[in-house]
Structure 1
């Protein structure tokens, strides 16, 4: 569901935001370089709360032309982190960080004439009672589009079901979203939580212009008793044990002590940018990354050249507990335990997956874990 920018927290990874773009800009290189730099976006929500978004360099191309200043977007599948910038574009305590699963959709309006209204239905979705109603709209060329609205929006359509409404019944759907029907592959319109607005037969220029475009021969409106084409998806539930006496992330940051600590936290994101392993120096007790030097690999620490190195695995994860959030770095054995793989498995998968990232890492990169 959509939440306000003031309500986001690192622990919550399931909600979405409805935001207007205030500023979208690229981080410029200080000198000419082909290296991609991150992209930054500043938003505000309906309450005027400003929120900063960071798009890492490996995802810049995906979102380079997505944002237009002044337009409204729905954003989901992001990570909430502490606003770590020294120069802050937002006074918000947190900021959001994009990843390869982040979805951004521009929220648009759709207008049409209602030609079918199906009976309201009640369903149990992820253990909760929900109501929906299907209806079909048609444009002035006779092209039809299916629509489904949920919960509080159902009453706005239900009043026209089996009613003696004088035709034509025109509707303007604001802030809706498009989705593909799994069975037929057709595109349909769905309500988008509380942000969607349904307006019927208004005396505005949009309605007047559409009414004038209608032809004399129109498809008669009808009420239908049938099942919805909606197919609910699955959910993922995670619980944390509360009876363990462990140090919190906030205490770790506050005390700034060096040592070994147990922290009970939830993994909300695996921040793998494609470099999840590297060749390290073969000298005993030296784990420095080897750099290419002609046809060999070079260790700056030992000042030695090697034909090849020892592969080390390094995955950065973002974790949260009740009050704090932090990046953790996992090495070698911990990486294999996280993924349920042996070191040999990881070596065999070093060329698989999106952008060189193993499929297991991609699958876990937005799934919460205890």
Structure 2
């Protein structure tokens, strides 16, 4: 027992291998060689394991990055990756990485380093990365909440490693109600998910391509969304091909929030390159949203207004009449000439909206959600003459304007589709803001209507039409259309 105790004493006194041999020698002398070398083998390997743990550097946690050091080691997954600039010239990579605890940080690889690493950077792959420049995350728009972001430098190391336990991208959806109420971090990009409620405006040209539509979340809250350029084209292409396949649920990542300004409500739009647009994709988040949408009975308007339901090539024009259809078989005239015409004629003119004209009609009228037909029902359910059962009437624009050209002027009517496009809000949205401001009477003209002033538009007019006598029950009004 004394000799055995001596062996253990030598081990715990950190005599290491010499101690092992010493203890082993005594045990060998006493005939305990098998038992001694069993312990020598296992304890020796235990010492090596402890030593290797001291030698192997443990990865840093993203949340611990505070700018105090840049000799970082990170075990991460790239959850988002996008490229900004001209490929192979002035291009940089930007990405979001996540560690084992789910914390995220924004990383930038500028053009001078991208050539070395572009082929190695892949979305959803996992890596061990070393050495970054740590800078403040204080740009106008931020993709992560982290106080800092990382930049590649000359000694940055990126090594792809199989770290399957690292989490994949987790969407961080915002509630529409919080956006509308102003409860958000200014400049922080967000993820949104919602069902398309109605397309309000679309325009495709060589200089400007965008689409504006309303979305609803599962609470029924409405939010306006604008998609620009390639995102717009992706949305319109889907609408053309599969727009009648049922509810359109979209996810927009890294969306920008535009704060409310005056009577303009807060809205969202895509980022220049960072956003991803997912439309009815077969992913869990969209599938669950669709199921809950049905369970909660959230009401959704037709994606396209009634006058546009037959459109088959939305991506080639705006929600207003296309130029070709607008100008076909009509004569261009000045307002002075139109005022002097005594026969029936359809013509086109260009003028500036100089005044909102008040008459015996309000700026809007209650109507069927499907056919735009006017109803006397102010609130509550009703069945329209078209057969549509309505839970509530919807408000449609009907605004009479004075259009000026040089020293001449004439009255024109703008209807719901045109006003919603030009104002940027539906009549119901404008009325809701007006009520919140204390004007509860429907006939009180909202401030938002003044946004029409100053627009220079092309108008198609029928010279014999008296604007005050046009039937609101007619959903299409070519006699006072605009481009």
Q: If each structure's strand is expressed as a fraction of its own residues, which one has the higher value? A: 1
- TM (normalized to structure 1)? 0.37
Which protein, 1 or 2, shows the higher relative CO under an 8 Å CA cutoff with sep ≥ 6? Answer: 1
- TM (normalized to structure 2)? 0.29
Q: If each structure's helix is expressed as a fraction of its own residues, which one has the higher value? A: 2
